[in-house]
């Protein structure tokens, strides 16, 4: 194929399709950019909420572990003689 034919076919595409529909094409591009921006904000907020939830759960766990440890020690102290020997 000749370079002249390639350039001419490119010019035809631009003249027939791009120039008459430039407004629509730009509108679609702007819509895509706006949509991606909104998704970025939404996903950032969701990610932040997930991380805050994980932090809250991790703050609650040590308290639960201490309570469970105390309950286990209290149970074993009352009935398990070997456990008493280990503690003392």
pTM: 0.47
Q: Give the Cα separation of 26 and 6 in Å (integer).
A: 25
Q: Is the pLDDT of residue 49 over 60?
A: yes
pLDDT at 63 over 70: no
pLDDT the model gives residue 56: 84
Q: Greater confidence, 79 or 54?
A: 54
Model confidence at 75: pLDDT above 90: no
3-state secondary structure 1-51: CCHHHHHHHHHHHHHHHHCCCHHHHHHHHHHHHHHHHHHHHHHHHHHHHHH
Tell me which DSSP letter residue 20 carries. T
Question: Residue ranges of the domains in the chain?
Answer: 3-87
pLDDT at 38 over 90: yes
Spatial distance between the Cα atoms of 68 and 66, rounded to a whole number of angstroms: 5
pLDDT of 39 reads 93
In a 3-state reduction of DSSP, which class is residue 19? coil
Q: Mean pLDDT across the stretch 65-71?
A: 64
Residue 7 pLDDT > 70, yes or no?
yes
């Amino acid at each position: 194929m000749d370079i002249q034919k390639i350039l001419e076919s490119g010019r035809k595409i631009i003249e027939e399709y791009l120039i008459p529909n430039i407004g629509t094409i730009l509108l679609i591009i702007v819509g895509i950019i706006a949509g991606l921006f909104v998704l970025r904000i939404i996903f950032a907020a969701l990610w932040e909420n997930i991380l805050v939830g994980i932090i809250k759960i991790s703050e609650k766990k040590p308290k639960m572990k201490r309570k469970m440890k105390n309950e286990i020690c209290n149970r074993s102290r009352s009935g398990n003689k070997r456990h008493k020997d280990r503690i003392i």
